[in-house]
Amino acid sequence: MKHHICIFTGARPNFIKVAPLIHAVQQTDDCDYQLVYAGCADDPTLEATLFDDLQIPAPDAFLGVDCENLNELTGRVMSEFERYLSEHETDTVIVVDDLASTMAAAIVTKKRGLRLAHLVAGTRSFDISMPKEINRLVIDGLSDLLFTAGVGSSSIATREGAENHKIYLVGNILMDTLRYNHDRWQRPACLDGIDNGRYLVFTLNRKALLADEENLQRMLGAISEVAGDIPVIAPLRGRALEVVSGFKLQTSNIKLQTSLSYLEFGYLTTHAMGIITDSGNVAEEATFNHVPCITLNSYTEHIETVKQGSNILVGEDAEQLRSALGDMVAGRWKSSSLPDRWDGRTAERIVSILTQT
């Protein structure tokens, strides 16, 4: 008898993490899956090439929830996902990360008495004022299977009372996607005339950084000044592109770029001299690729990227950024190594656990 799995996604980054899981499920006869997306089929954040780039089918179901208020979103996702589960045979629901929609799906799953698995469990900021921190606590507390990316995350889950038989250190599934696509990256047109290893990458998305425009301009000024004649490729989207474009930067080395396809962005970050980002995912990928990375945040959900990897944290401090970037462009960077089980085989471990427990 096949095991029926529902893979629930709430935002674009989730698809990048579940793609290897879908590939692994497709290789077994023991289970099948359906992919569910909380948003709409015409969601503008899902570029037309995304699913082809990841080599996975489009979602089997779109819940069609599209709203800004997190409490409203939570309620609507709960209602729509309840309807979905009542119409589709499901044994296990897999949720990813820490979104409000993820928490909503987790609550509905357990209310229906189904097995809940949390992919990228045990991550914490220890800042209860962050909505995502509340989501993480709720999801982990409800989950029957906690799939963690590192020893630190497993330890957090244990300290918070999760039973040991629920916790599985499977590694970072983002590395599976990088390994799978290693030979498929596509060099973007924005690198025409620029040699590999002779440019920096800058990405921006955090609302806190975008809200403090004065400080953001200071940080961009530091990047521009220290980079000098090194091009800084900045593939931005949405609000970030709008804000930075509005600064009318008096510099030619920061090159704003509309968002790239997944395969183009993968090439860009893999071959960069270094990366400046506020994205934990980008920092994790930099560790896998051994590319120096500066994260514009005071904490990271995966401290392995700092302790073993190529990442350092500078918070939102323009002077710390200036100093770290000076080391980066001068070639003075710490040595790095891959954390345990960041080997590109996380999805295989997860499917084995799902079919044997």
For residue 230, the 8-state DSSP code is S
**Does the pLDDT of residue 135 top 80, yes or no?**
yes
- Single-letter residue type at 105: A
pLDDT in tens, 80-122: 999 999 999 999 999 999 999 999 999 999 999 999 999 999 9
Spatial contact of 92 and 117, defined as CB atoms under 8 Å apart: yes
CA gap 334, 222 in Å, rounded: 21
DSSP annotation string for 131-166: HHHHHHHHHHHH-SEEEESSHHHHHHHHHTT--GGG
State the burial class of residue 193 (Cβ atoms within 10 Å of its Cβ: 0-12, 13-18, 19+).
Answer: exposed
Of 239, 221, 200, residue with least CA distance to 45: 239
Tell me the pLDDT tens digit for each residue of 196-250: 999 999 999 998 999 999 999 999 999 999 999 999 999 998 899 999 988 877 5
Per the CB < 8 A criterion, the answer to whether 254 and 277 are in contact is no
| Residue range 122-149: mean pLDDT, rounded | 94
The Cα–Cα gap between 215 and 342 comes to: 35
pLDDT at 258 (0 to 100): 84
